[in-house]
Amino acid sequence: MGAGVQVLTVAPRFCGPPGSANGGYLAGLFAQHAPTTVRVRLERPAPLGVPLTVAAREAGKLELLHESLCVASATPAELTLEVPRAPDYMQAMEASRRYIGFGDHTFPACFVCGPDRARGDGLRIFAGACTHDPELVAAPWVPHAALGLPDGKVRPEFMWAALDCPGYFAARSDGVPMLLGDFTAHVDRRVHIDEPCVLVGWRIASSGRKHEVGTALFDEDGELCARARATWIEPRSAAPVNS
């Protein structure tokens, strides 16, 4: 690598689908190389454990390259999102009991929402339907110490990761396999390690195989700390995995 070249590497721990990076985590790492809010488009699965090069393009655009292939791009964007009121922590815990991934999960080792991941290893964010609002999914989250910086707050890339998977479970409730297509997030304030937080997700619009969703993260006082807008895409061969 020449002088000044920026690279990032996604450790195998931070996987989504087997052998590739979790989309929200990758987007969060990548977005830190941009000076403004960006829309990250995931072009293809990003490999784990190998250097990925950040390349600057015209008009503030960035590309993330594995050798000569573009795995993701980032374009300056504005994030407009009407965020619903957050349920309280106990309501989020109750919603989490209805997490459909407990019965069957397309990617059970996913860093964010995989039930096969141990506490302290995966984020274990299990978003389920809220009884008070059937259009909303919610999950509790207490960030582990391994996710923090010396200031005692959660690293930005883990905030992005936490905002990822609740959107999938908001898009559809039948377990149809989907992949994250694009992701625009903004962290207003990093939450503290061991702070009881609440995550929510809701569907904004659907068109064919594409589903637009919003997600948000609230601190223990119910204050909005981060939010995201995403598009999830069903592969053409997708079929329900839950009955």
Please list the pLDDT of the chain residue by residue as tens digits (243 residues).
Answer: 444 579 999 999 999 999 999 999 999 999 999 999 999 999 999 999 999 999 999 999 999 999 999 999 999 999 999 999 999 999 999 999 999 999 889 899 999 999 999 999 999 999 999 998 988 999 999 999 999 999 999 999 999 999 999 999 999 988 889 999 999 999 999 999 999 999 999 999 999 999 999 999 999 999 999 999 999 999 887 444 432
Residue 4's pLDDT is 57
Our CA dihedral for 122, 123, 126, 130, rounded to 10 degrees, sits at 180
51-56/6-9 β-pairing: antiparallel
SS3 category, 28: helix
Q: Which CATH number fits domain 6-76: 1.10.300.10, 3.10.129.10, 3.30.450.90, 3.40.50.300?
A: 3.10.129.10
For CATH 3.10.129.10, the residue range(s) in the chain are 6-76, 89-233
Give pLDDT, residue 175.
Answer: 85
CA distance linking residue 197 with residue 201, whole number of Å? 14
The answer to whether 52 and 64 have CB atoms below 8 angstroms apart is yes
Q: What single string gives the DSSP state of each residue in 35-67?
A: SS-EEEEE-SPPBSSSEEEEEE-GGG-EEEEET
pTM (2 d.p.): 0.94
- The contacts of residue 116 (CB under 8 Å, 6+ apart) are 105, 108, 109, 122
DSSP state of 226: E
Using DSSP, state whether 165 is helix, strand or coil.
helix
**What's the first-to-final CA gap in the chain, in angstroms?**
50
Tokens 């000076």 — which residue? 35
As given in the structure block, the two tokens for residue 150 are 């010396």
For residues 110 and 117, what is the distance between their CA atoms, to the nearest angstrom? 7
DSSP secondary structure code for residue 94 in this structure: H
197 closest CA partner among 223, 177, 220, 180: 220
- Residue-level pLDDT at 24: 98
Going from the C-alpha of 102 to that of each of 17, 21, 70, 128, the distances in angstroms are: 17, 22, 34, 10
- Pick 89-233's CATH classification: 3.90.650.10, 3.20.20.70, 3.40.50.1000, 3.10.129.10: 3.10.129.10
